[in-house]
């Protein structure tokens, strides 16, 4: 594949070597606990199938998605590892789950019965995980209901209770008191269950900051993409961000002092200025809240976004960058020269979290995959 800078106007580079290094480091850090690699939401925007395959190849024990359709997408893409569905499933998706060998979370008798009705006649033993709500107050059974429900599942033909799990509300905060209460509640309910059920509760934040929460398996998401969950979580590994977002300048033009830029004329040139058009807008995942706030790297320097971010394009001020020409590369997320703009920094400008920036990368942005230090393949809207 030729250099991406000759192929596209706007593209995301996904470094699968960095991903593999992150997974291997997390795996080593976890020791004997298994690693479930969370690849929901199109692998946090990175591309579900290539990321899932690379994570398994690097030693992840299984994968986590949010829904049946995300699991089916992986199977259609040829991914063969165990896939745990971490979200709610409707009973009418039971046949699809069994057909695609997905591992659902089960919290209702309706779903359990529907799964048993499909799996048992086929002579299958479908592994399922039971989600416990220990204080996030979102999805899952209250701890008091878990032992009886697990007993009910074990009485059904065709199902095997493989795992039991919960999820933290505040593991990424400095004060871990609430997280420890959740962990205690979870461990307490696990003690009432038969031996041999895989217990898991740790997200990335707990992987790094709460080794006592690793239990039998951990479920890092953001960490495998090379980012820490929050500014306060301990930087215990040398993670590398996996995704960069780049564009080629489509136009470079001079304006006089007093010229106003983009919709609403919210930025007025304070001096004669050199501006550059970037073919990236909010429909690509560049938050509109970066209007007159964000920055990009051009020629190794920071160029501010001026005026409103539009649907498909935005304008940056390159007056202070020497010799900028159309076709030069603008880095929206990633490194250029000695500087780096991280997804965290973009999220700060947008007053959100880096998770949302990554997941918000639109399908129309081509993803270019690098593996074994080579450009391997790309995925575009036309695939
Ligand atoms: C998304 C998710 C994770 C991963 O969280 P990170 O903060 O990205 O590590 C783990 N477990 C569950 C249930 C999730 O939904």
Q: Which residue, 144, 146, 212, 147, is CA-closest to 179? A: 212
Determine the number of helices (DSSP H) and then strands (DSSP E) in the chain: 11, 21
DSSP type of residue 292:
T
Choice from 22, 39, 64, 168 to test ligand 1 binding pocket (greatest atom count within 8 A of CB): 64
Contact 47, 14 (CB under 8 A): yes
325-370 pLDDT per residue, tens = 999 999 999 999 999 999 999 999 999 999 999 999 999 999 999 9
Nearest to 132 by CA among 164, 101, 103: 164
- Binned at pLDDT 50, 70 and 90, residue 383 comes out as confident
**pLDDT, tens digit, 9 for 90 and up, residues 171-196:** 999 999 999 999 999 999 999 999 99
Q: Which residues are catalytic?
A: 40, 263
* Ligand 1 center from residue 246 Cα (angstroms): 27
Describe the chain by its helix, strand, coil percentages, rounded to 5: 35, 25, 40
List, for residues 213-228, the tens digit of each pLDDT value: 999 999 999 999 999 9
Which tokens go with 363? 């399908």
pLDDT at residue 76, rounded to an integer: 98
Q: How far is the CA of 314 from the centre of ligand 1 (A)?
A: 32
DSSP for residue 179: H
**Residue 1's pLDDT band (cuts 50, 70, 90):** low
């Amino acid at each position: 594949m030729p250099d991406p800078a000759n192929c596209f106007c706007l593209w995301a580079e996904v470094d699968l070597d960095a991903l593999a290094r992150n997974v291997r480091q997390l795996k080593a850090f976890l020791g004997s606990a298994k690693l479930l690699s969370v690849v929901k939401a199109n692998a946090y925007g990175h591309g579900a199938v290539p990321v899932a395959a690379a994570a398994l190849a690097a030693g992840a024990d299984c994968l986590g998605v949010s829904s049946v359709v995300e699991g089916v997408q992986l199977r259609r893409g040829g991914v063969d590892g165990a896939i745990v569905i971490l979200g709610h499933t409707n009973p009418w998706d039971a046949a699809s789950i069994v057909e695609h060998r997905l591992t659902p979370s089960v919290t209702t008798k309706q779903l359990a019965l529907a799964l048993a009705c499909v799996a048992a006649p086929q002579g299958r033993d479908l592994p399922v995980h039971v989600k416990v709500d220990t204080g996030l107050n979102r999805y899952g059974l209250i701890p008091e209901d878990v032992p009886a429900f697990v007993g009910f599942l074990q009485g059904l033909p065709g199902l095997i209770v493989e795992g039991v799990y919960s999820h933290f509300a505040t593991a990424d905060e400095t004060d871990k008191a609430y997280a420890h209460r959740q962990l205690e509640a979870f461990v307490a309910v696990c003690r009432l269950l038969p031996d041999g059920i895989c217990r898991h509760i740790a997200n990335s934040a707990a992987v790094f900051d709460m080794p006592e929460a690793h239990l039998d398996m951990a479920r890092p998401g953001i960490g495998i993409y090379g980012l820490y969950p929050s500014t306060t979580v301990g930087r215990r590994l040398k993670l590398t961000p996996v995704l960069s977002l780049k564009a080629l300048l489509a136009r470079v033009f001079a304006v006089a002092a007093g010229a106003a830029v983009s919709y609403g004329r919210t930025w007025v040139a304070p001096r004669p200025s050199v501006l550059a058009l970037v073919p990236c807008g909010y429909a690509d995942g560049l938050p509109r809240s970066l209007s007159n706030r964000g920055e990009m790297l051009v020629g190794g320097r920071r160029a501010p976004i001026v005026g409103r971010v539009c649907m498909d394009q935005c304008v940056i001020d390159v007056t202070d960058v020497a010799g900028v020409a159309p076709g030069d590369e603008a880095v929206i997320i990633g490194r250029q020269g000695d500087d780096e703009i991280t997804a965290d920094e973009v999220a700060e400008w947008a007053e959100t979290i880096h998770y949302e920036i990554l997941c918000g990368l639109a399908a129309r942005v081509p993803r270019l995959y690098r593996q074994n230090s080579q450009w391997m393949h790309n995925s575009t809207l036309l695939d």
